[in-house]
């Protein structure tokens, strides 16, 4: 009887110990589990917060900074990246194709067609056409324009067609001074071009108005074709033919675009937003492509494709037969009003 009571008491004591120990473990594990859950939630929130922050940065949203300047709070400029991609992916190859394509097309035309010859040959009598001031303006603008073309092409295309052949050689330091020199020349020659361009536009604009007879000039390709139904067709033309007028107005419009955008790019004191700077860069490149194309055409037409044409901008005089064939209406006018002057 005594043993049964002792065993019963012992079982009760054991059960009480189990309850006490189990309860203690339960009480001790509660805060641990809660802390683990809270830590996991904080980590998830931190990851979400970091993702949102990076998404906002990539979207171009501005933050806060104590640095002073234009858009200093923007870490990633979306418009700038998109503009750079547009320039590299599209404008750079278009510029290369323009140079090669236009020059190649006129080279083929010259080899097949030959130059536009004077129907009656050279007369030997030289007629005054350009003043000394006109010649100076033309050549200052021409030389500065060509310098800007070559340096601009080096800046845009050099890393694709020059740098790969220079850097692996024994003189890897050649590329750095070449690109730096091109940029320096481009920046300093620009104002000279702008000044001569402005004088040219103001001085020559009265001579560049389109007339109805200019349409025929385009229809017969200016009389430059030496075969087929166009052979020997010399359309009427005033002081400037239709092709020269189209070149002048192209130079006027896109010369304005390239001048304004160029000044926006080289004048740091303007403190322009990055979007405006990228827009200026794209406008500058597009204007350059158009002007380069027309400049190549102008050089071909004024030199090898026109017999006697180059002499006009060298001495200011043209052969009388050249004036009659290419600018007959102008020749008739100066002959009728008594302003025809021959070279002594």
Average pLDDT over residues 248-270: 92
Average pLDDT over residues 126-139: 96
What pLDDT, on the 0 to 100 scale, is given for residue 284? 96
Choose the weakest-confidence range: 64-73, 96-105, 207-216.
64-73
**CA–CA gap between residue 96 and residue 92 (Å, rounded):** 6
What pLDDT, on the 0 to 100 scale, is given for residue 57? 62
- Map residue 62 onto helix, strand or coil: coil
What pLDDT, on the 0 to 100 scale, is given for residue 84? 82
pLDDT tens per residue, range 262-281: 999 998 777 777 788 889 99
Q: Does residue 325 surpass a pLDDT of 90? A: yes
Q: Which residues of 161-191 are buried (b: 16+ CB within 10 A; e: fewer)?
A: ebbeeeeeeeeeeebeeebeebeebbeebbe
What pLDDT, on the 0 to 100 scale, is given for residue 42? 59
Q: Does residue 27 surpass a pLDDT of 50? A: no
Average pLDDT over residues 80-95: 87
What pLDDT, on the 0 to 100 scale, is given for residue 26? 45
Instruction: Please give the mean pLDDT across all residues of the chain.
Output: 84
Q: Does residue 33 surpass a pLDDT of 90? A: no
Q: Is residue 238 a contact partner of residue 211, using CB atoms and an 8 Å limit?
A: yes
Q: What is the DSSP letter of 317?
A: E
pLDDT tens per residue, range 162-219: 888 876 665 657 888 999 999 999 999 999 999 999 999 999 999 999 999 999 999 9
Confidence of residue 24 (pLDDT cuts 50, 70, 90): very low
Q: Which of 238, 145, 241, 242 is nearest to 200 (CA)?
A: 145
What pLDDT, on the 0 to 100 scale, is given for residue 230? 79
The widest CA-to-CA distance across the chain, in whole angstroms, is 157
Q: Which of 191, 312, 178 is nearest to 240 (CA)?
A: 312
Phi, psi of 116 (to 5 degrees): -85, 105
DSSP E strands, the chain: 126-128, 317-319
Kindly state the percentage of the chain with pLDDT values over 90: 55
Q: Does residue 28 surpass a pLDDT of 60? A: no
């Amino acid at each position: 009887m005594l043993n049964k009571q002792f065993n019963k008491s012992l079982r009760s004591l054991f059960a009480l110990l189990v309850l006490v120990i189990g309860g203690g473990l339960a009480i001790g594990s509660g805060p641990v589990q809660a802390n683990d859950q809270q830590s996991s939630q904080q980590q998830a929130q931190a990851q979400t917060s970091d993702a949102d922050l990076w998404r906002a940065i990539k979207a171009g949203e501005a933050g806060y900074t104590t640095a002073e300047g234009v858009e200093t709070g923007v870490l990633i400029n979306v418009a700038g990246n998109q503009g750079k991609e547009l320039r590299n992916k599209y404008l750079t190859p278009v510029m290369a194709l323009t140079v090669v394509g236009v020059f190649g097309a006129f080279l083929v035309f010259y080899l097949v067609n030959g130059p536009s010859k004077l129907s009656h040959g050279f007369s030997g009598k030289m007629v005054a056409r350009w003043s000394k001031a006109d010649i100076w303006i033309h050549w200052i603008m021409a030389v500065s324009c060509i310098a800007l073309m070559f340096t601009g092409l080096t800046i845009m295309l050099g890393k694709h067609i020059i740098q790969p052949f220079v850097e692996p050689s024994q003189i890897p330091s050649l590329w750095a001074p070449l690109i730096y020199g091109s940029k320096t020349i481009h920046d300093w020659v620009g104002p000279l071009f702008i000044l001569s361009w402005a004088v040219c536009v103001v001085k020559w604009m009265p001579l560049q108005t389109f007339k109805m007879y200019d349409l025929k000039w385009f229809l017969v390709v200016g009389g430059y074709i030496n075969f087929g139904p166009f052979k020997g067709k010399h359309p009427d033309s005033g002081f400037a033919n239709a092709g020269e007028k189209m070149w002048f107005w192209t130079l006027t419009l896109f010369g304005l675009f390239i001048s304004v955008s160029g000044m926006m790019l080289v004048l740091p004191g303007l403190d322009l937003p990055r979007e405006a700077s990228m827009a200026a860069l794209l406008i500058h490149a597009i204007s350059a492509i158009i002007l380069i194309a027309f400049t190549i055409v102008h050089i071909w037409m004024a030199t090898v494709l026109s017999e006697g044409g180059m002499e006009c901008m060298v001495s200011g005089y043209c052969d009388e037969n050249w004036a009659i064939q290419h600018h007959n209406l102008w020749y008739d006018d100066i002959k009728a009003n008594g302003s025809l002057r021959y070279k002594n």
